[in-house]
Amino acid sequence: MENLVCKCGHKNPPGTILCESCGRSLTEEEQSKKLADMRYEGTARRSQTYNKSIIDKIWNFFSSVKVGVGIIVVLLVAAAIGTILPQAQYVNVPVRNDATLQAYYADVYGEIGKIYYFLGLHDMYSSFWFITLVGLLAISLIVASLDRFVPLYRSLKNQRVLRHRSFMNKQRIYAEGQAPDDVLVKAEEKLKELKYNVTLDKNGLLAEKGRFSRWGPYVNHIGLIIFLSGVMLRMVPGFYVDETLWIREGETRAIPEAPGYYLESEKFTIETYSGEGDEELFEDALDRVGTVAKNYQTDIVLYQTPEESLPGATDEMEMMKEESIRVNQPLKFDGYAVYQMDYKLNELRAMTFDLTDKETDASLGTLTIDLVKPEDSYDLGNGSKVDLLGYYPDFSGFENGEPQTATPVPNNPGFLVRMYTPETPEGEVSFIVIQDTIEPLGENQYKLTFQSAETRHASGLTIRKDRTLPILGLGGLIFMIGVAQGMYFNHRRFWIQQQEGGTVLLAGHTNKNWFGLKKDLDQVSEYASLPVYTDQQEEVEKKEKLDKEQKVEGDELR
């Protein structure tokens, strides 16, 4: 394609609609129009101009608004499909793996669930094709913006004051007529008062205001790109920490992924609304739905070990903070945040037994076994004692005569004990689980009778560190600035030319809010006695309406 040489002698890049220099229409189509197409100032969108290599073709593809909107629509539809059934992360399965998830979808949702799982829609938003779609949108954002921004910037930067008559009279706001000699001086004065930038060249004047609003779309696209790159970085290892920590009351635990930091849980609290006193007005609601949680809270102490200290060595820990973690009030330190997310109530902490004579039910004394710190032997006084031979926190059965434990959590504690009393100095062996006693070495005279238990709660905490948050925030901020810049400000321009013989040409353009533009012009017109202008768009519409009505009348007559 060749450069387009305008009558004024300026060489324009191929694809240009309005001459960059004087504003003459360069295409036949444009010449035949009543109003000029001022989008992108009639410059060539860069990708339209060349269409040669593969790279250019790909580039052009992504530069098109149609393609961009197409990607948005596909993304929108895909996102909607992902909400038909819950995503895998929100599904409750006892053990989380592919097989259990597949079974869950098949069991609960039947055929649809099977297909949903088969298509990978249960984990759609992290699938490669969904990420690719978002990536394509990013490419489209970048390419389309570059393609439009560069020529628009060039064209607005190199604006000429004197435009060709055919450019002027194809503007929506246009006037032609006699005016006094001092019209340019007066117009300049008034326009400056209205905060316009005024440039004079020979017999012409260009007034401009709010050009920066033209950059709005590109600024908000930059914001989106920054946001998306933040999202991308988030997936790079090291930028993002997401860990779970279960901690029981009284425990001290290293905070995962936060070297040198330890957390001690002092107390977990759960509160519900009572519907009494201050809360009386909630009574009806509480009656309807039952209990409503009021507060989940873990009181913690945060410790830090000295820099040179090693994992495992916790004696030199220093207390940093004593705080309560609540929903909406995470604990924050050193870029980390610890959230109250979950809880387990009433885990066994200690159990109290009576040593009793099986026949008479007489008690020889009481012992309390601390499940966190069981002891070898419990002396009951009066010559009686109980030796602990084995402790199995989550008793699950015997294997080769040896009691087994399934987990380290005291869900079903089992104790192997030897009981000594003055009457049985040799001791009697007994195995005790909740509500059951086994006497492996023959009938005993004594037994341990369960009296009471102490429990404690466990808090499920989530530990997060997200270094991409500032990037995401910046992206969001720039996006909002760009949107406001592009939508709430507008770019207004006036061209005035004084012809020989006192005739004045006037044209006005804005990218939006013509009402505001007219208001400005009315003031200038009055002050500088400019000729009366017309809104050519309204003229065109009026004419169309008239034609239509005449046609309707004609139809009715027929």
Helix (H) or strand (E) holding 47: helix 46-49
* Closer by beta carbon to another protein, 53 or else 360: 53
Region from 172-180, 249-257, 452-460, 501-509 binding another protein, contact rule CB under 8 A: 249-257
DSSP 334-353: TTEEEEEEEEEEEEEEEEEE
Contacts of 18 (CB under 8 A, 6+ apart): 24, 25, 26, 30, 36, 37, 38, 41, 42, 43, 167
What residues between 283 and 342 interact with another protein by CB under 8 A? 284-286, 288-289, 292-296, 310-314, 326-328, 330, 337, 339, 341
* Closer by beta carbon to another protein, 89 or else 499: 89
What residues between 340 and 369 interact with another protein by CB under 8 A? 341
**Does the footprint of another protein cover residue 445 (CB under 8 A)?**
no
What residues between 55 and 114 interact with another protein by CB under 8 A? 55-56, 58-59, 65-66, 68-69, 72-73, 75-76, 79-80, 82-83, 86-87, 89-90, 108-110
What residues between 146 and 165 interact with another protein by CB under 8 A? 146
Shortest separation between residue 331's beta carbon and another protein, angstroms:
12
Shortest separation between residue 202's beta carbon and another protein, angstroms:
31
Site string for another protein, 470-489 (x = CB under 8 A): --x---x--xx--xx--x--
Q: How far apart are CA 18 and CA 167, in angstroms?
A: 8
Helix axes 128-157, 216-234, angle to 10 degrees: 150
* Closer by beta carbon to another protein, 421 or else 485: 485
What residues between 266 and 285 interact with another protein by CB under 8 A? 273, 279, 281-282, 284-285
In this structure, the number of other CB atoms found within 10 A of the CB of residue 203 comes to 15
* Closer by beta carbon to another protein, 171 or else 305: 305
Sign of the CA dihedral 533, 537, 542, 547? positive
Shortest separation between residue 530's beta carbon and another protein, angstroms:
26
**Does the footprint of another protein cover residue 8 (CB under 8 A)?**
no
In this structure, the number of other CB atoms found within 10 A of the CB of residue 445 comes to 12
Shortest separation between residue 52's beta carbon and another protein, angstroms:
8
* Closer by beta carbon to another protein, 87 or else 451: 87
Out of 28, 376, 436, 500, the residue judged to bind another protein by CB under 8 A: 376
**Does the footprint of another protein cover residue 390 (CB under 8 A)?**
yes
What is the residue type of 436? D
Q: How far apart are CA 482 and CA 486, in angstroms?
A: 6
| DSSP label at residue 380 | E
Q: How far apart are CA 346 and CA 362, in angstroms?
A: 30
Sign of the CA dihedral 332, 333, 339, 344? negative
Shortest separation between residue 327's beta carbon and another protein, angstroms:
4
Helix (H) or strand (E) holding 430: strand 428-433
What residues between 399 and 438 interact with another protein by CB under 8 A? 404-408
